[in-house]
Structure formats: structure tokens, C-alpha cells
Structure 1
Amino acid sequence: MGSKKKRAEKKKDFQKTKLRVGKTAARPDNYTDTSFTAKSISLPNQTIAKPKQGATTNNGGDVDLAHHLQLVKHHSASTRKEVLAFIEAHLPSNSASYKQILTVTLSLLTDQSESVRSAFVSLLSACADRQPGFLQLHMRSIVLFVHSAMSHIRGDVRATSTQALDILITKAASSLVSGFLVKTLRSFFSLLSWTLSDDKKAVSLAVNTTASLGGVTKKTRARHLAVLARLLQATLFVDDSEKSGTDWTRCSVVHPQTPQFMIPQNPQAFAQLKLFVEELPSQRASSGASGNGTYTLSDVDAVSTEDIETRRKVIEDVFLSPLRKNLVATSKDGGEVGAEASKCLQILDKFEGELKAQRAEE
């Protein structure tokens, strides 16, 4: 009898318990209940926990932004926007930190969210106000992303692309037009679906681009034209605020041509020489102009626009006729778009008037 009971108990260990619907499964014999909650003890003044990096400060009193810079790539658009706003409100006093901030956040210029792009533009403007020479120092990398936004496949990204360009024109126009004028004007023609030449292939490409990428609203188009007007003004005319405070022509001790041989104030002053750039040899002439001294569309990319005389000649030879043709057609649309196009035409008329006056004196 005893052996029969033992065999039944051993057999029970190898039998699977049948589960029934709505019934809680039986708990094992070695089950441990962990539903209890221990009482927490809070000692704020004696805590050894490491504080969040975003709330720490360095020796200079600036907020440590390392943690927030990591959140710039967050999947949530609202988080990215809040991080940019926090960085803008806690910009460091150390100029060495601005390069890291720009490197991490610059790609947000082509972000899918419009609020994130606007927050980055606000941050870029704040950095330029906080650190003099910031835009001039990083102009090459900023312009690269601006041109990418102006030719982006998404229409909403293209619509806000000129916001960052407007900051560059307002705060660092000299560095922009002296090194990146030609590519910026080409990007404007692509952004506004204009043609630089009259051949049928270019006209067909512009029509197909407008149809495939979708048209832009009148408000957006007017904003683009307003930025174009400021770009033309900075390109064709010398801003009085950028002139030197010293009139070298009136100095009797210093030679009048002394400032031409001084160390340049702008960064990368000799970038047009391309001393540290490897390029494939070009089939075109290295002079950048044709035999009669006139620039053409095919070789204008190799021209350095450091001085205003060269910029004026490039505009006159290559961009003046296409600009006038497209602006006249745009001005007929009326409204805010037509008004901004008329402002651009007034700048071109002023430029042509000065050219005629100079040639009449010669």
C-alpha cells in the first residue's frame, strides 16, 4: 500500500496540470512574492548620485550642454525643438564650444519638422550675436547646408531655406558674397525655377522641375525674392557700415595703398587660391574669362569674387540678363510677389545706371 502511494506521488510530478479558462494558474512551490515596496529614504544634502549633465555647470559658470547635444538626434521633433531652445538660452561664454554646437546642430537645417528648422535658425542668429566672427569662421560649412536646403527634394524644406541665408546676408554679407556668390545665385535660380540660359533643354528642365516638385505659395515666393534683393544689394554695392573707420587717402604719414598690403581681417582670405584643395584638371581656360575678357556661364564657377569689381563683372556678364528677364515676368504677378520683384529690378536699374555713368566718364 505504501509503495503504491509513493508511485502515485512520483507520477504526479510528471503530469501536466490542465489550465482552465478564467482560472489563475497555480503558483509553483518555490514562488517568491516581490510585490512589496520598500520605504525610500531621501537625503538631498548627502546624496552621492551623479546629477544630470544638463544641469551641471563648469568652472566658468556655463551650463554643460553635452547631454543636450546628444538629444539633438532624438526621434521626437518636439524634443529636438526644446533642446535647441535650451541651448539657445544657455549659450556658453567659451568660444571653443560653438564649433561643437554648430557641428551637431547644422544638419537640422534640412530637418523634416518646420518648428525644428525655425528653432535652428533662431539658434544660429543667437550664436552670431553672442560670438563676433562666428559666421565668418564657419561660413563654408553653413553655406553648404543652405545650398542643400535650397535644392532639397521636400518643398517645405526649400520654403524655409532662405531664412538661414537671410541671417548670413544680414550679419556676414561680405564673407558670403566674396566666396560663395556664384553658387548662391545658381541655387536661387533653381529654387525659383528660373533659367540661366535660353536653350530649349534648360527651359524644359525648369518646367518639369516646377511641375514635379510642386509650386510654392505666394508668401514663400515673396520671402525668397526679398532675400534675393538683399543679396543683390550686398553684392553690387559697398555697405557703409563695413567700410574702414580710417580714411587712408587723407593720411600723410601712411601710404594710401597701405591697407591693400595688410593682413586680411576675414578668415580663409586666400581660399580662392585653393592651396589645400585637390581638383581634377579642367578643360576650360584657367583665367576664368573668354578671349574678349567676358565671363561665361561655363567658367564662372572658377572665378574668385573677393573684390566688388569682379562681382559686378560676373553679374553683368552672366546673371544680369537672366535676372532681369525672370524678374520682369515675376513682377507681372502683382501683389506681394510683384512688389518684391520690383525691388530687385530697382537694384538692377541702379547698378546699370552706375555702369553707364562710369563708361561715360571713361
Structure 2
Amino acid sequence: MGSSQKRKKEKQKDFQKPKLKVGKAKAKPANFTDTTFRSKAIVLNQQSLSTNAPTTSSQFSHHLSLLSSKSDTQRKESLAHLTTSVASRPVDSPLPQPVSVMIPKLVPLLLDASNSVRANLLKFLKTLPTADIEAHAAQLLPYIRAGMTHLAADIRSSAVEVLGWLVETAGGEVVSCPGGWIKTLNCFLSLLGWHTEESAKWSSNRSSFGKAGSEGRPMVKALHALAEFLRAGISSEEASIQDGSAAAAAEHDTGVEFFPIDLSVQQNMIPERSAPYAYLNLFGQPRDAEGEMYESREDRLRVFGDMFRKAIERGADNARKEGGEVGRASAAVFKVLRETRSES
């Protein structure tokens, strides 16, 4: 009997509810399996196990690759490192990377949403050699034009600032590259709202420049950039300066001043520009009128008179009537128009 009662109690034990006491953890079941584990990690201060420090070129390439990072801070810091590397290099020393390698990774940042990234990008571009900027002006312009017609006001303002610097650095290349003349002028008209007579009268048709738009400061910046662009493209003074510098360069290279009797001597010399026959478009896609190259001042002046002069004169006149800084800035545009009115 004793053994039967013992077996009966053991069977009832499985169906009894244990009494929980306050402050004590719940008892674990008999078939509980502990699944916790601990892992050991090795933390390295550097990504490379090499004892040798990375070279300047490898660091430059590394930060160049970080320009596509998703972090705004990382892109800004990488641009700051690139700017310091280029600005602090010895005089007449080559760049850590060719500009042809850097430009494709830099131009998308012209449309970056971060103001600090765009500001650091402009600082870095200003450290590059002028000759390299002139050779790659055609690659910068499409992104600048996209920025000038962007929905964000800050990006439009930054694009105008970059265009002003590019015209100041390589104005001749900007106005003569494929699409550099007609497409850029169309972007200016869209930015300023000067396409038609009705849109030029109403400020609501003008692209907003953000908080400072009411004060006119971005509008002043756009008018100054337009004046410099027109001066580089159709001003007679700019054309005479370019011709004089070309003649001085040719005289310096040959040591001979060309006598006016034989004017074909200069034409038979080795061209100073890269891709001197690019205007023929032998291997590129067919171009329309907007994408053509207008290398001579006469061609640009003819196109300007046929397509843009009336709209720009009308818009500049309305801007002058506004007075203040905007009115004074429009005077620079009127000065260029006045110089070329009799020629177009």
C-alpha cells in the first residue's frame, strides 16, 4: 500500500500548480535548455593590419571613394581632406589623382542636399589648376544647369555661385563648349523668369531663392553671374583680351612676331587647345541647335540677337525699375547689352 500511494502522489505532482512567492524568479521547467552564448571580438584601431602608414595617394583615393557615402558628415569631411591635400602639395607637383578621375565623382555633389557639402565642393574646385578646369568645363556645365533649374532654392543659389566661379576661371571654354551658350542662357531665363513678356513683369513667375529671396540678394547674385556670362561670350573687350593673349603666347613660343603679310602662319601652328576639332562632332551623337558649339564671338552674338536679346533687355529693364541692389546689379547686364547692340 505504501508503494501505491507513493506512485499516486508522484502522478499528482505533475498536475499541481507551484505557489509563486513575491520577489523570487519563476522556477525553470525540468526540460529547460540554456541557449545563451558569449562571443569574443577583436577590435582594430585601423582597417589595415599593415605596419606601414598609408601613402598620401592611397588616402586621397580612399576619401575620393567616400564622396558617394550616405552620410552628409562623411562627404563633408572627405571633401575637406581632399581640399587640404591639394592645397598643401608642393608647388609644381602633380595632383594625387588626375582631374579626369575626380570630376565624375565630384559633379553629382553639385546637386547635394547638404549646404555644407556644396560649399566644401566649391572650395575644393577652386584649388584645382586652371588648365584642368578649362579642359573639363563641359563636364561641369550639365550639372550646373540642372542645379540652376532645381526645385530646391538653396541648390539653385549654389549652382549660380559655381557658374560665376567657372565663368571667371574658364569663361572662354564655358561659352564655346557644346550646349554652353544656348542651354545656359535658357537656364538663366528660367531662373529669372524672363522667358516671356508676361513672366518678366510678375515676380511670382520667378524662381524662389529661399528666405533671402525677398531681400533680393540671390537675385543680385544671379544678375552678376548673367552679366559675367554675357561678357565672356559677346563682349568685344573680352574677345580682344583673348586674341591678345593668344598672340602673346604664340610670340612667346616661337620668339617671332608674325608680320601681317602672312596671316596664315598662326593657322598652321600646333593648336593650343585640347581637341581643336571637337566642333566637327566626328564621333559624338548628333546635336541640335542648342547643343552646338559656338566658338566664335560672331556666332554667339548672332544667336544671342535672334533668340535672347529682347527677353533679356525686357527682364533687365524690369529689374532696374525695382531699384535697390537688384537695380544696380541689372546695370552690369545693361552695360554688356549696350556694347553689343549695334553689332547684333
TM tier, smaller? 0.7 to 0.9
Query: In the superposition, relative to structure 1, how do residues 265 and 336 fare at CA in structure 2: closer, same or farther (>3 Å)?
Result: same
Give 2:112's aligned residue: 111
Amino acid of the residue matched to residue 206 of structure 2?
Answer: T
Q: Which residue identity is paired with 2:223?
A: L
**C-alpha distance after superposition, 1:23-48 (max 9, x if no partner):** 5567878688859x99x9x9x9xx99
Alpha-carbon distance between aligned partners in 1 of 2:16 and 2:302, rounded to the nearest angstrom: 96
Scaled by the length of structure 2, the TM-score of the pair is 0.75
Question: Where does residue 163 of structure 1 map in the other structure?
Answer: 161
SS of match in other structure, 2:322: coil
Paired residues of 1:175 and 1:266 also in contact (CA < 8 A): no
Which of the numbers 251, 260, 263 marks the counterpart of 2:258?
251
**Number of residue equivalences:** 319
AA paired with 2:67? V
Q: Which of 116, 126, 137 lines up with 2:135 in the alignment? A: 137
| Structure 1 partner of 2:241 | 240
Tell me the secondary structure at the aligned position of residue 341 of structure 2.
helix
Q: Distance in 2 between matches of 1:268 and 1:18?
A: 92
Q: 1:61-80 alignment to 2 at 5 Å? A: 61-80=56-75
- 2:299 corresponds, among 293, 298, 310, to 310
> Aligned partners of 1:20, 1:71: CA distance in 2, in Å?
59
> Partners in 2 of 1:119 and 1:19 — Cα distance?
66
State the shift of 1:328 in Å: 1.0
Cα–Cα, structure 1 residues 251 and 73, in superposed 2: closer, same or farther, change >3 Å? closer
Distance 1:97 1:65 in 2: 11
Question: Which residue of structure 2 aligns with residue 275 of structure 1?
Answer: 282
Q: Does the C-alpha gap of structure 1 residues 33 and 333 become closer, same or farther in structure 2, counting only changes over 3 Å?
A: same
Q: 1:343 aligns with which of 321, 332, 343?
A: 332
1:65 shift after superposition: 2.4
Query: Percent identical across equivalent pairs?
Result: 25
Q: Which residue, out of 311, 319, 324, partners 1:330?
A: 319
SS of residue in 2 equivalent to 1:264: coil
RCO (CA 8 Å, sep 6+): is it higher in 1 or 2? 2
Q: Give how far 1:109 is off.
A: 0.4
- Secondary structure in structure 2 of the residue aligned to 1:152: coil
Q: Which of the residues 143, 147, 150 maps onto 1:149? A: 147
Q: Does 1:352 align with 2:341?
A: yes
Residue 190 of structure 2 is matched in structure 1 by: 190
The answer as to whether partners of 1:62 and 1:90 remain within 8 angstroms in 2 is no
Partner AA of 2:297 in structure 1: I
Counterparts of 1:23-38 in structure 2, within 5 Å, are: none
CA offsets per residue over residues 253-311 of structure 1, 9 Å max, x none? 9933222233332233323222122338x7xxxxxxxxxxxxxxxxx526531112212
**Structure 2 counterpart of 1:276, one-letter code:** F
SS of aligned partner of 1:146: helix
Which letter does structure 2 place at the counterpart of 1:119? N
The one-letter amino acid paired with 1:156 is: D
Structure 1 residue 243: Cα displacement: 3.2
Where does residue 86 of structure 1 map in the other structure?
Answer: 81
Q: Which amino acid in the other structure matches residue 320 of structure 1?
A: R
Query: 3-state DSSP class of the match of 1:90?
Result: helix
| Whole-angstrom distance in 1 between the partners of 2:24 and 2:69 | 44
Call closer, same or farther: CA 1:107–1:20 in 2, change over 3 Å: farther
**RMSD, matched Cα:** 4.3
Q: Per the alignment, in what secondary structure is the counterpart of residue 160 of structure 1? A: helix
SS at match of 1:65: helix
Q: How far off its partner does 1:235 sit?
A: 1.1
SS at match of 1:268: coil
* Letter of the 1:170 counterpart: E
- 2:134, 2:169 within 8 Å by CA — same for their partners in 1? no
Gaps of 5+ in 1: 283-299, 357-362
The TM-score with structure 1 as length reference comes to 0.72
